[in-house]
Structure 1
Amino acid sequence: MPATRRAAVLGSPIAHSLSPVLHRAAYAALGLDTWSYDRFEVDEAGLPGFVEGLDESWAGLSLTMPLKRAIIPLLDAISDTAASVEAVNTVVLTDDGRRVGDNTDIPGLVAALRERGVEKVDSAAVLGAGATASSALAALSRICTGPVTAYVRSEARAEEMRGWGARLGVDVRTADWAHADRAFAAPLVIATTPAGTTDALAAEVPDAPGTLFDVLYHPWPTPLAAAWSERGGAVLGGLDLLVHQAVLQVEQMTGVAEAPLAAMRAAGERALAVT
């Protein structure tokens, strides 16, 4: 085993990534003084060369856009969770030289909800239909016992979400984005859209709403999240997801039984406070 161990997050753009802050906080709390975690600007064209250049000091990689699917052909194996959404955000480099991919976004989302007391719901709504929305559906397959309504802008997106639902075993129904305010009647709403997309919906939040999981983390709170809190609803944000998926990454890459969730969250909050 090398005396020093390395890990990093790859993506493009990557300068905004909070992963180094979270992982380094974990290493400090765990006393892993010989571990380092960096960020590298890598696009799809540069990914194969980067991966081939890894030596035995490397323990793992975190992947962000646009690499979560591009990494798959370069791996020796992927988990069932990653295969279910065709997306890998975690690579563990094993002692015998294998590259094993996983997706910690899905169990991370479930863990973040569980931390807030949301373990089962009888229905849910998803705002948006991108890559994060498919991960949201995969998470909902574990906690939602009834239908999930996805609010989308086109029939092509609607068809895509219904396809993911069929693949993941989720009863997905679709509705036009023009009626997105109807989502707020669900006990759990997961907003997966880019910054600004849901701002106009903030005025439509009813009194005593359920739980909102808005995957954005900067700027925070979003107008929708702020309105939700003001009306008495429970709100989770992108930092909750980032921290919980990073906890699972640290455990897989280092082999520790329990990563320091509180220390990682505190580091993330400090970093966001100065951005």
Structure 2
Amino acid sequence: MAAPDRTGADGPRCRAAVLGSPIAHSLSPVLHRAAYSALGLDDWTYGRFEIDEAALPRFIDGLGPEWAGLSLTMPLKRAVIPLLDTVSETAASVDAVNTVVLTPDGRRSGDNTDIPGMLAALREHGIDKVDSAAVLGAGATASSALAALSRICTGEIAVYVRSAARAAEMREWADRLGVEVRTEDWDRAADALRAPLVVATTPAGATDALAAAVPERPAALFDVLYEPWPTTLAARWSAYGGAVLSGLDLLVHQAVLQVEQMTGRSPAPLGAMRRAGEQALAER
């Protein structure tokens, strides 16, 4: 998505925020404000608003010309789509928008930075291609994981789920994304841990019982949680010498892309943003 002009007839466009419900836990303000500070954008502000699906249309319609962008978390990533003028191919591929860029002419453009953010985090750890992969879980993050894996996985992706309905949903996503997926029952999830890349997209505690099944020489684990951290699975994985990526890796990399789109400044300060996120988590 091209960076919009940051000024207009009504002055500088220097306001952004994260929306969602619940939202109090969000690290986005910490990351974006750290970026503004490092970039010398002293007139930029980044807020946090508790907004549900019913309140979203009115909130967006009420935004003034000073607004440059929005970050969206659950449950708004799909609800926002009908309110936008354009949606990127990346966002459309998973029916999820987490980034809205507001332009001086009033247009609203939606994008998904979770998918490229996940790929950037993997590249940072030297993972740019795998011959197979496994996904634990079948929620919204799992569909983004499939989209990311579709770009780097040359073979089959095994998805471990708890119900036949979830399995059907993941097969539908696979068909839509053009990836080869094999769905497996959650009772066999320990088998996933032998894959070259395992992406855990489940809620806190869901993978704790799998820690005992971590192989002696594990490959790479991308656990999308960041609080509490490390998860039981990630701690055992790391103890056995495997590569571990956390949800903070994903959060920071997707926020980097958001900052660049909203401010028009590139590159965003990855290091400063990561340090701010680590400090905020340490203080919780």
Instruction: Identify the residue that residue 49 of structure 1 maps to in structure 2.
Output: 58
Q: How does 1:207-246 map to 2 (within 5 A)?
A: 207-246=216-255
Quote how far apart the aligned CAs of 1:175 are. 0.4
The residue that corresponds to 1:107 in the other structure is 116
What is the aligned partner in structure 2 of residue 197 from structure 1? 206
Paired with 1:106 and 1:17, the residues of 2 have a C-alpha distance of 19
Take 2:283 and 2:137, find their aligned partners in 1: how far apart are those partners? Answer: 29
1:173 is paired with a residue whose SS is strand
Q: Equivalents in 1 of 2:201, 2:179: separation in Å? A: 17
Q: Which residue of 79, 94, 97 maps to 1:88?
A: 97
Letter in 2 for 1:109: M
Task: Determine the C-alpha separation between the residues in 2 that align with 1:105 and 1:3.
Answer: 28
Aligned length in residues: 275
Aligned pairs for 1:173-192 within 5 A: 173-192=182-201
Q: 1:31 corresponds to which residue?
A: 40
Question: Which residue identity is paired with 2:216?
Answer: D
Question: Per-residue displacement from partner, 1:71-127 (whole Å, max 9, x unpaired)?
Answer: 000000000000000000000001221000000000000000000000000000000
Partner of 2:256: 247
Distance of 1:84 and 1:231 partners within structure 2: 36
- 1:151 partner letter: Y
Q: Which residue of 1 aligns with 2:164?
A: 155
* Pairing partner for 2:27 from 18, 23, 32: 18
Aligned counterpart, 2:4:
none
Which of residues 11, 14, 20 is equivalent to 1:5?
Answer: 14
TM-score (norm 2): 0.96
Partner of residue 119 from structure 1, selected from 125, 128, 134: 128
Structure 1 residues 188-230: Cα deviation after superposition (integer angstroms, max 9, x where no partner): 0000000000001011101110100000000100000000001
4+ long deviations beyond 6 Å:
none
Instruction: State the alpha-carbon separation in 1 of the partners of residues 219 and 179 from structure 2.
Output: 20
The aligned counterpart of 1:164 is 173
In 2, distance between residues paired with 1:232 and 1:44? Answer: 43
Q: Tell me the percent identity.
A: 76
Q: 1:227 is aligned with what amino acid?
A: R
What displacement does 1:4 show?
5.5
1:69 is the counterpart of 2:78: yes
Q: What's the secondary structure of 2:222's corresponding residue?
A: strand
Q: Which runs of 5+ in 2 are unaligned?
A: 1-6
Describe the SS at the equivalent of 1:142.
coil
Q: With the length of structure 1 as denominator, give the TM-score of the two structures.
A: 0.99
Give the conservation status (yes or no) of the 8 Å contact 2:13–2:65: no
Unpaired segments ≥5 residues, structure 1: none
Distance 1:103 1:201 in 2: 31
Q: Is the 8 A contact 1:4 1:34 kept in 2?
A: no
Cα deviation, residue 185, structure 1: 1.1
C-alpha contact (below 8 Å) 1:130/1:192 kept by paired residues: yes
Partners of 1:258 and 1:3 in 2: how far apart? Answer: 20
**How big is the alpha-carbon RMSD for the aligned residues of Structure 1 and Structure 2?**
0.6
Contact 2:138 2:159 in 1 (8 A): yes
